[in-house]
Amino acid sequence: MDTNQKLNLTMLCDFYELTMANGYFANGYRDRITYFDLFFRRCPDGGGFCIAAGLEQIVSYIRDLHFTEEDIEYLRGREMFTEDFLEYLKDFKFTGDIWAVPEGTVVFPQEPLVTVRAPAIEAQLIETYLLLCINHQSLIATKANRIVRAAEGRTVLEFGSRRAQGPDAAMLGARAAYIGGCHGTACTISDQLFGVRAGGTMAHAWVQMFDTELEAFTAYCKMYPNNATLLVDTYNTLKSGVPNAIKAFNEVLKPLGITKCGIRLDSGDMAYLTRKARQMLDEAGWETCQISVSNSLDEHIIRDVLRQGAKIDLFGVGERLITAKSEPVFGGVYKLVAVEHADGSITPKIKISENVGKITTPHYKKLYRFIGKDTGKAIADYMCVHDEMVDDSQDIEIFDPEATWKRRTVYNYTAKELQVPVFKNGELVYELPTLEEIRTYCAQQVDTLWDEIKRFDNPQTYYVDLSQKLWDIKYGLLKNKTE
C-alpha cells in the first residue's frame, strides 16, 4: 500500500474498538447511548497545569467519519466480523453529541477535556483518534508554555521538525507550540497550513560552502539585507565568527542604513559567549543586533543561562520541545462514565482499580471554574452532575486536594462552565476560532493562574473538587462494587 495516498482516518483505531463494536452490534447494544470522558491523570514534568489542544483536528475527523468499500473488504478478510455488522458500516457516520474545553484552556488532572454522548459503537470507534489528537498537542502546547515562560518575554521559536516523530508530529507540533506561546516555527508547511509564521536563516553548511567565513557572511547579507542573521559558531565564535559578522554588517548593511540584524550561536557556553558577543557588538556600534541561540534547549537550561547573565534575545528550541523529551507522554485516557436508557434516565458507571489514581469519576458531568471577582484569578475547579446548577451567589465548600479532611469555602466568585458544545446530533455547532484567537486565549488563561501554580518545581496543587451529589454517587458506587 502506498502510505502517501490519502488515508481514511476512520481506520486509525485500535483493532479492539472494531471487535468491541462488532460485539455491541451482535448483543443488541448498537443504539445504546453511552457517555465517555477523555481526561488525564497527572501533569507532565511535575507541572501544576496543562494546556488543552487538538480539538480542531478532532472536528475534521468527526466530520469525515466513514468506512470505504476497501475498508470493509479488509475487515471482511479478517474473518472476524458478521456480515450484518459490515453492512452497518457502509452507512456509518457520527450521530452523537460532543462537548469539549476550547483549545488553549488551562486544565488539570481528572477533568473531562472532552465528553462524548453517542451510540456505543460510535463512541467506542473514535477513542483512539480523540486520544492521539488531545494527547499529542496538549503535551506540546504545555511544554511550549513552560519554555516560553522560562524565556521571560524573549522570543521563542520552534525548531524541531527534523527530530519530530514523523510528519504529523512536526506539523501539528508546530501548531501546538504556537498555541502554547511560541512566536513561530522553522517548519514551512505549518506556516502554509496553519499560519504559524515560518522563518530561518542559515546552517553551518552555508558557511562551509564558501572559501572564507567572511565571504559567506557578506554573501548572505547581500542576499537578505533585511533578514541577516549570521551563524557565528562554525569555526570560532569569538575569534572569527563575531568579528566577521561585524565586518559583514559594516560592509553591506551600514551603507544601506539597515540596523536590523542578528547573530546565532548553536554551541558552546551560551552564558559566557553571549555576554562577550554582546560586548563586542555594542563596542562596534551594533547595539541593535539581536543574539539568538539554539542547541538542545529546554525551560531549565533557558532559566539557568538567563540567571547567569546571558545576553539573549531569541531562543530556537528543537528536540526537547517537539518531542517533549523530558516526559514525552501526556497520558490522557478515555473512559465510559454513564449509559442512557430509552426513558432518558442515566446510570453512572465507574472503573475501580487498586491504584487509587485510576478510579474514574462516574456520570455525565459539568465542569466549572471559579474566578475570583476581586482578583481575576482562578480559585478552584468544580465537577458536578449534569443536572446541578452552580449559583454565583452561593458559598461552596471544597476539599483541599492535598489533605481531603480540610475544607475551604469559596465565595465572591464568578462560575464559568468550561466545556462548550461542539457536535449536536452529529452536526457541528461550534465555530472554530482562528489559531491567533486560540493563542491569545491561552495566554489569558495562563494569566488567571497564581504564580505558585506556575512554578516549574513543586507547584502549589490547584483545587479540583466534586460536588457533594457527585461525591456521594462516586463513593456509593465504590462501596457497592467492593462489598
Residue 94 backbone zone (phi > 0: left; psi -120 to 50: alpha; other: beta): beta
Q: Which three three-digit cell numbers place residue 147?
A: 519554555
Q: Cell numbers at residue 426, please?
A: 452529529
pLDDT tens-digit map of 267-326? 999 999 999 999 999 999 999 999 999 999 999 999 999 999 999 999 999 999 999 999
- Rounded CA separation 91/56 (Å): 24
Cell 456520570 belongs to residue: 363
How many Cα atoms sit within 13 Å of 278 on the Cβ side?
15
Residues whose CB falls within 8 Å of the CB of residue 297, separated by 6 or more in sequence, listed in order: 147, 315, 316, 317, 318, 320
CB neighbours (10 Å) of residue 292?
A: 21
- Where do the DSSP E strands lie in 142-217? 155-158, 184-185
Residue listed under C-alpha cell 462524548: 116
pTM of the entire structure?
Answer: 0.95
Residues in CB range of 243: below 8 A, 6 or more apart: 280
C-alpha cell at 50: 496543562
* Partner residues linked to 372 by β-bridges: 413
Q: Give pLDDT, residue 400.
A: 60
Read off the C-alpha cell for 427. Answer: 452536526
According to the model, what pLDDT value does residue 95 have?
97
CA distances (Å), 266 to each of 271, 363, 367, in order? 12, 52, 45
d(CA 92, CA 70): 14
The pLDDT, as a whole number, for residue 401 is: 56
Residue segments in the chain with a per-residue pLDDT below the cut of 50: 1
All domains of the chain in start order, with CATH = 9-137+329-364+418-434+455-482 (3.20.140.10), 141-322 (3.20.20.70)
Write down the pLDDT at residue 127.
98
Say what the pLDDT of residue 4 is. Answer: 53
The alpha carbon of residue 200 and the mean position of all alpha carbons in its chain are separated, in whole angstroms, by 24
DSSP assignment of 427-444 equals EE---PPPHHHHHHHHHH
Q: Which of 130, 177, 80, 60 is nearest to 432 (CA)?
A: 60
Q: Contact 109/40 with Cβ under 8 angstroms?
A: yes
Residue-wise pLDDT for 247-278, tens only, equals: 999 999 999 999 999 999 999 999 999 999 99
Report the C-alpha gap between 79 and 46 in whole angstroms. Answer: 46
Please enumerate in sequence order all residues whose Cβ is within 8 A of that of 266, keeping only pairs 6 or more positions apart, or say none. 204, 231, 233, 293, 294, 295
- pLDDT score, position 101: 98
Q: Which residue has 551594533 as its cell numbers?
A: 286
Q: Cell for 124?
A: 467506542
Q: How far from the centroid of its chain's Cα atoms is residue 16's Cα?
A: 27
Percent with pLDDT over 90 in the chain: 89
For 436, the grid coordinates are 491567533
CA distance 116 to 114: 7
Strands 463-466 and 378-385: parallel
Residue with cell 543574539: 291
Nearest CA-CA partner of 290 in 163, 146, 183: 183
Looking at residue 482, its pLDDT comes to: 67
